[in-house]
Amino acid sequence: AENMLWGGRFTQGLDPLMVQYNTSLPYDRVFWKQDIAGSIAFARANTNSGILTQQEFAEIERGFKQIAQEWQTNTFVAKENDEDIHTANERRLGEIIGKDIGGKLHTGRSRNEQIATDMRLWLRDELRLIESHLSDLIKVSIARAENDIAYLMPGYTHLQKAQPVRWSHWILSHATAFASELERLREVIRRVNKSPLGTGALAGNCFNIDREAMAKELGFDGLLYNSMNAVADRDFAMETMQWGSSFMLKISRWAEDLIIYSSLEFGFVRLSDAYSTGSSLMPQKKNADSLELLRGKAGRAFGQMAGLMCTIKGLPTTYNKDLQESVEPMLDHVKTVSDSIQIATGVLSTLTVIPEKMIAALAPEMLATEIADYLVRKGVPFREGHHISGRVVALAENTNVPMDTLSLKQLQEVDARFDADVQACLDYERAVELKDAIGGTSKRAVLEQTAVLKNLL
């Protein structure tokens, strides 16, 4: 243990399994760039406060440039004692520029602030990428909604045929939910992008380091103002996963709808080959694997969120090694969410709509509300109109004919207030166009929604 970063007070080496158990380098190596950027900012700040000379700083910067090169070209050679990315980079720096100068880098610094800094920097950049992927998903939804504006389909409640709606209205119902997630994500990014650098192991920095200058250099939007909180806090990872879980919940419901709509029984849409797979046994099969994975991966994302919350719950304040267990779930969660958004965008932009199947699925009974509304316009109280319309539905059912083929005479036998103009009510397009108040399914109201969404992007 002599030659470990922390080896001074140790006389015995680590148990071999403990070495593996303890090391985080296999996964925290993804932070190499952030770790180097943080180290250079730290060295610069220590130079400005007189801890390092300009010459020493130049050496440190030169060393890190080479290390970055090695990571970039996949030639960085990890050593047995490289516990984590911070240890690996610092060890290598000493080899390149010599231990006399390399050994000064860590003055006043702790790996506790380093890991929090690295994770936040990495997460900030990933979340910005995710923000642009999510914008793309909403853009594709808008484009499809505008392009497919003519198509009508059954709208469902309880998965029972309810009222006719525009297919575009369905698309935008989800895009609107995605837009809420976009707003939430922007909030999360603001809080992730705060700097813990310069807070030490827990108590702060005693070498008069300029935390604001470091934060600025690293592109942070501000500082964390309590050093104990700065090293203890994993809200950035937790909030990201809570956000990601909320998003996956949304995309999972979206996927479930499309799984149903792409089934042979519904046949409203056909998935592109690029997002479906076949069966090894049944030659006719085309399965919506992309959508099923979107639904399935939601469970995985929730699990990671719950796992991290359990890890953090009840920890004594400031840094505990348990916190290292926040890294892997965060990495996996972020990748899952990022991939899922891009897959969803691909599915939506390439699927084929089959409007004839949507029309064929519309049933005259879905216009029963139109009959009640017709009577309302004749001065009948809605509650009574609802009742009369229900009797019309029953009549069609009992005589075994579609409701829209009942004669005026038959309708008048149900209620004398029906006139010849009732026939015009039994029209899907008309029913849809009447829902013209803000947020409804008329063409105007749907296009208005696209305008609202565009404003958000």
Rounded Cα gap, residues 391 and 417, in angstroms: 14
For ligand ARG, which stretch binds (CB under 6 A), given 253-261, 323-331, 416-424, 440-448? 323-331
Q: What is the DSSP string of 28-76?
A: HGGGHHHHHHHHHHHHHHHHHTTSS-HHHHHHHHHHHHHHHHHHHTT--
* Position 193 contacts ligand ARG (CB under 6 A): no
Residue among 37, 67, 115, 371 that touches ligand ARG (CB under 6 A)? 115
Report, in Å, the least distance between residue 299 CB and ligand ARG.
Answer: 26
Whichever of 123 and 353 has its CB closer to ligand ARG, that residue is 123
For ligand ARG, which stretch binds (CB under 6 A), given 192-200, 262-270, 295-303, 317-325? 317-325
Report, in Å, the least distance between residue 90 CB and ligand ARG.
Answer: 12
Altogether, the residues listed in the chain come to a count of: 457
Q: Which of 222, 171, 197, 198 shows the shortest CA–CA distance to 449?
A: 171
**84, 325 Cβ separation under 8 angstroms:** no
Partners of 164 in the β-ladder:
154
Q: Which residues contact 347 (CB under 8 A, 6 or more apart)?
A: 258, 271, 272, 275, 290, 291
Q: Is the dihedral of CA 56, 57, 60, 61 positive or negative?
A: negative
Q: Which long-range contacts (CB under 8 A, 24 or more apart) does 308-314 make?
A: 308/234, 308/237, 308/238, 308/241, 309/238, 312/234, 312/238
Contact letters (x/-) for ligand ARG, 37-66, by CB under 6 A? ------------------------------
**Is residue 389 flagged as an active site residue?**
no
Whichever of 125 and 328 has its CB closer to ligand ARG, that residue is 328
* Position 24 contacts ligand ARG (CB under 6 A): yes
**45, 209 Cβ separation under 8 angstroms:** yes
Whichever of 248 and 323 has its CB closer to ligand ARG, that residue is 323
* Position 89 contacts ligand ARG (CB under 6 A): no
**Is residue 158 flagged as an active site residue?**
yes
What is the DSSP-derived secondary structure letter of residue 353? E
Report, in Å, the least distance between residue 326 CB and ligand ARG.
Answer: 8
* Position 232 contacts ligand ARG (CB under 6 A): no
**351, 147 Cβ separation under 8 angstroms:** no
Phi then psi for residue 352, to 5 deg, are -100, 130
Report, in Å, the least distance between residue 200 CB and ligand ARG.
Answer: 11
Residue among 89, 245, 324, 450 that touches ligand ARG (CB under 6 A)? 324
Whichever of 140 and 330 has its CB closer to ligand ARG, that residue is 330
Where would I find the H helices in 218-312?
Answer: 227-232, 235-261, 289-312
The kind and range of the H/E element at 152 are strand 152-157
Report, in Å, the least distance between residue 206 CB and ligand ARG.
Answer: 18
* Position 112 contacts ligand ARG (CB under 6 A): yes
Q: At what angle do helices 235-261 and 289-312 cross, to 10 degrees?
A: 160
* Position 323 contacts ligand ARG (CB under 6 A): yes
* Position 234 contacts ligand ARG (CB under 6 A): no
Residue among 327, 368, 445, 446 that touches ligand ARG (CB under 6 A)? 327
Rounded Cα gap, residues 415 and 391, in angstroms: 9
The catalytic residue among 263, 272, 279, 407 is 279
Q: Which of 172, 177, 221, 176 shows the shortest CA–CA distance to 195?
A: 221
Q: Which residues contact 95 (CB under 8 A, 6 or more apart)?
A: 102
Report, in Å, the least distance between residue 223 CB and ligand ARG.
Answer: 20
How many CB atoms are located within 10 Å of the residue 198 CB? 27
Q: Which of 71, 89, 70 shows the shortest CA–CA distance to 79?
A: 89
Task: State the residue for tokens 């965008």.
Answer: 345
* Position 302 contacts ligand ARG (CB under 6 A): no
Whichever of 33 and 161 has its CB closer to ligand ARG, that residue is 33
Report, in Å, the least distance between residue 114 CB and ligand ARG.
Answer: 7
The catalytic residue among 132, 158, 333, 386 is 158
For ligand ARG, which stretch binds (CB under 6 A), given 37-45, 89-97, 145-153, 319-327? 319-327
Residue among 319, 374, 418, 428 that touches ligand ARG (CB under 6 A)? 319
Whichever of 159 and 206 has its CB closer to ligand ARG, that residue is 206
* Position 111 contacts ligand ARG (CB under 6 A): yes
Catalog residues that contact ligand ARG under the rule CB under 6 A: 24, 28, 84, 111-112, 115, 319, 321, 323-324, 327
Which residues have a catalytic role annotated? 158, 279
